[in-house]
Amino acid sequence: MTKALIRDPWSRNRLIRDSICRAIHHKMQLDPTVYLLGEGAHMKVHFDAPDIEHDFPSRILTLPISEDGNSNFAVGMALGGLIPIVDVISSDFLYRTMDSICNTMAKLGTVQSPKTMIVRAEFLTGGPTSGQRIEAMFTHVPGLKIAIPSNPIDAYEMMKSALSSKNVTIFFEDRMIKDAWFAEPTNLPLTPVDELGITSRGDEATVVSYGITHALAARALQGKPCMLFDLRTLVPLKISAIIDSVGDTGKLLVIEPDAKFMGIGSEIVAQVTERYSGVGWLKRYWCLKRLGGPRSVIPASRELHDLMIPTEADILRAYEELTL
């Protein structure tokens, strides 16, 4: 992949994208009730997943430009016994689906006979209306599962798991994660999808991240003796292993790509603090840092957009300050 293509906000991360599509194709082979739908669904499958287009053309539904209507259409399909995967393309378009997802879909994730539905969305670098990260907003809604893989292996396993469980899953794909960061995807560690991902082990500090910032942290902290956790899912938030690790290291660094204000990192720090608030030695020696994006409108400039999330240099600097 050329540098020019990597800089293109509409270029797809091929490894993560292909992993997601392989998982969908696998499930469609096993289950005739799985359907793909969304705006330009045929076109997207044509470029992203030709095997799906070839093998299951009748289960690809291209719908009008109406994100909320399409999401409600998926609800009707699920109520009828089908498994819909509705693709809203950009994460920004999820704003137009808030009623159907939060007021309708989410309830179907908590009823006596919960349904299986997937809402796919992608994080882009396309400016103020095609580059917003809004994952934290959905964590407040009961009945939704929020998945954000940081590597191709996880993307495959997490999509397979989402399609096999009775949950309404918001499944994010992060196009900012570059293929060049994965020499061989088969060399990545495989961790059960119901556990935290562990990229490295050590006793110097506990580092927690997800999505693009986990991919950056894995590069920035390579060789550092730290416990590096990948959340993988924001809901459920698997916090117990993080709390145990902080008890061992006494140091916590949380890195998130979304806005730091009222973000996922705040919740992690709060839960860790509550757990150890009465532990004398930890209260004396415990230290923490949080990195995240500003609470700001996404700039139109791609170069400035890159600065909306912590860089590898930011991560390494924060780690070194934490472990001095």
CATH of domain 3-179: 3.40.50.970
Phi then psi dihedrals of residue 125, to 5 deg: -125, 60
Q: How do 287-293 and 233-235 pair as beta strands?
A: unpaired
Pick the CATH number of 195-322 from 3.10.330.20, 3.90.1150.10, 3.40.50.720, 3.40.50.920: 3.40.50.920
Domains 3-179 and 195-322 share a fold: yes
Q: Which amino acid is at 159?
A: M
List the domain boundaries for the chain: 3-179, 195-322
Least confident of 10-19, 63-72, 260-269, 315-324: 10-19
Q: What is the pLDDT of residues 98-123, one digit of tens each?
A: 999 999 999 887 777 889 999 999 98
CA-to-CA distance for 26 and 292, rounded, in angstroms?
Answer: 36
CA-to-CA distance for 170 and 307, rounded, in angstroms?
Answer: 25
Phi then psi dihedrals of residue 96, to 5 deg: -80, -5
Q: What is the pLDDT of residues 180-211, one digit of tens each?
A: 887 654 455 566 777 899 999 999 999 999 99
Count of other CB atoms within 10 angstroms of residue 102: 17
